[in-house]
Amino acid sequence: MEKPRSVVPAPIRAVLFDAYGTLFDVYSVGLLAEQLFPGRGPALSVLWRDKQIEYTHLVTTSNGGAHYQPFWDLTRAALRYACKRLALDLSVESEQQLMNQYRHLSAFPENKEVLQSLKARGIVTGILSNGDPAMLTVAIKSAGLDGLLDHVISVDALHKYKTHPDAYALGLQATGFEARQIAFVSCNSWDALAATWFGYQTLWVNRYQLPFEELGTSPVFTGSNLRDVLSLPGLGLLP
C-alpha cells in the first residue's frame, strides 16, 4: 500500500466502503451481457457503468436536484442508453435479465475476511453508497455480508449523489465521528478524490492499475485490493 510521506494518521474509528465497484463488481454483469450480445458484453458493461455515473452527476447538479431519480431507475436508463449507443436490440426480457443480474453483482472475494477482521478490532463498519436501500439490501444479502456492517448509508433520502459533499457528510451523521476519524474506501478514483476533498482518510483501491485523477489532489492512501484496509496506519492507534 502506498501513502504520502507527509501523512500523520489520525486514529481510525470507522471504515466506510463505497458499494458499487468497491464491494460489488459492477463489471461482472458483462458475463451475462456477453451471453445476450456475443462479442459486445465487455463494451456494454463499461458504457453502462460510465453512463450510470454520468446520470448521477447530471441529476445532482441540474436545477437544484429537481430531476433526481433513484439509483435503480438511473441504472435502467443507463442500460437502455448503452444498448442504443451500441446498436443492440434490448428486448424486455433481456433488460429484465440484466437488471436482475445487477441486483446480484459478484462480490470481491476478500470482502467478508476484511469486514470480519475490522469487526474483531472494534472498528465501526459501513457502506456509503449511491445505491438505493432496496438495491443495497439485496446486494449485501446476496454477498453474505449480513451482520458485518454497522451502517448501510444510502444517499437516496438526501436526493444528492456523490460527489456532492452533503452525500459524504452522511457518514459523519451516521457514525458520530469526524471525517478525519473515518477511512473511506473506494475503487472509483472520482469517488476517492471527492472524499479526500471532503476530509476523509481515503484509501483508493486501484484494482485495475489505472492512473489517478489529474486534479492536483491524491488519495491519502492507495492500495490494490480491500485487504490493504487492514494495513492503514490509523487502525492501530488508540482513539
Q: Is 166 a catalytic site residue?
A: no
Helix axis angle for 92-103 and 133-142, nearest 10°, is 70
- Cα–Cα distances (Å) from 75 to 50, 65, 100, 119, 163, in that order, read 10, 17, 11, 32, 17
Q: Distance between CA 160 and CA 189 in Å, rounded? A: 19
Handedness of CA 214, 49, 130, 104 (dihedral sign): negative
Q: Distance between CA 183 and CA 75 in Å, rounded? A: 27
Active-site choice (18, 156, 191, 228): 18
**Cell 483501491 -> residue:** 205
- Report which of 87, 222, 43, 74 is spatially closest to residue 161, judged by C-alpha positions: 74
Residues taking part in catalysis: 18
